[in-house]
Amino acid sequence: MSKQNYLTNIYRGKVATFYGMETGIDKYPVDKSLYLSFDGLEGDQCADQVNHGGIDRALHQYPQEHYAFWQKKYGNHVDWVAPGMGENLSSLGMTEDTVFLGDRYQWNEAIIEVSQPRSPCFKLNKRWNIDNLSSEMQGNSRCGWLYRVIKPGMVSVLEPLELIERMPNAMTIRELSEAFFNEPLNKTNLLKLRQQSALSDSWMDKVVHRLEANQVESWSFRLFGE
């Protein structure tokens, strides 16, 4: 079970006015040890406390491999590099195909658990000046994923994420994203999602609502800010 995954960087940032909005999306590398609490990395801030951050969304990890995809798709007019998606953790070798919901990692003193894929929002569109980047990311499942903190403690980029537990019926992050976003009313998929005990409360509430109402929640504001 034990597998060590070394990070390429960790990032944190303060809320400021960038891209015509109040946001904490611009983050900067941290090369020292710092404390990881239940709310996230020491010194990291989040502008929208309703739709970002919180216990189930304490950390965001984004695969560094994906930047080459976006570079090829949208061209060389900007530098497609981390932490351009507002991620806290940057990695090579961990992707939506190899990371599973509920995976627990020992990270130095801390223990973290995968809680959901990242839900792309309109702030990515503004950050990159691409109107449909959020919906494109949602459609191709290159979203990265979020963690809850099971045990707080000191962490650093020099310490690996060591996989210590994986649930027997867990879905990969890609499987979860495709079921939730691309086939949102497929009852078989929804029932499978309903069985994922590690799924964040906000996503589980939506799964339950879809099963009961046969209706998908509106994505318009999240994706486009309208």
Kindly write down the DSSP assignment for every residue of 182-201, as one continuous string: ISTT-HHHHHHHHT-TTS-H
The C-alpha atoms of residue 212 and residue 132 are separated, in whole angstroms, by 30
Give tens-digit pLDDT for 190-221: 999 999 999 999 999 999 999 999 999 999 99
- Cβ neighbourhood burial of 81 (10 Å; 0-12, 13-18, 19+): exposed
Looking up residue 205, the CATH number of its domain turns out to be: 2.40.33.20
Q: Give whole-number Cα distances, 156 to 5, 122, 147, in Å.
A: 13, 30, 16
10-25 mean pLDDT: 88
Q: How far from 137 is each of 20, 70, 87, 126, 143, CA to CA, in Å?
A: 22, 10, 14, 14, 6
Is residue 152 over pLDDT 90? yes
Between 138 and 48, the more confident residue is 138
Q: What is the tally of structural domains in the chain?
A: 1
pLDDT at 13 (0 to 100): 93
The pLDDT tens digits for 135-145 are 999 999 999 99
Percent of the chain at pLDDT above 90?
86
Q: Is 109 exposed, middle or buried (0-12, 13-18, 19+ CB in 10 A)?
A: middle
Q: Show the tokens assigned to 50.
A: 């309703």
CA distance 148 to 202: 13
The mean pLDDT of 174-202, rounded to a whole number, is 97
Residue 179 structural domain: 3-224
Backbone angles phi, psi at 137, to 5 degrees: -65, -40
Question: Could you give the residue ranges of the DSSP H alpha helices within the chain?
Answer: 66-74, 122-128, 133-140, 173-177, 187-194, 201-213, 220-224
Determine the 3-state secondary structure of 42 from DSSP: coil
Question: Which secondary structure element, helix H or strand E, spans residue 22, and what is its range?
Answer: strand 21-23
Residues 6+ apart with CB under 8 A from 59: 36, 40, 41, 88, 89, 112, 146, 147, 149
| 19: confidence class by pLDDT, cuts 50, 70, 90 | confident
Higher-confidence position of 161 and 19: 161
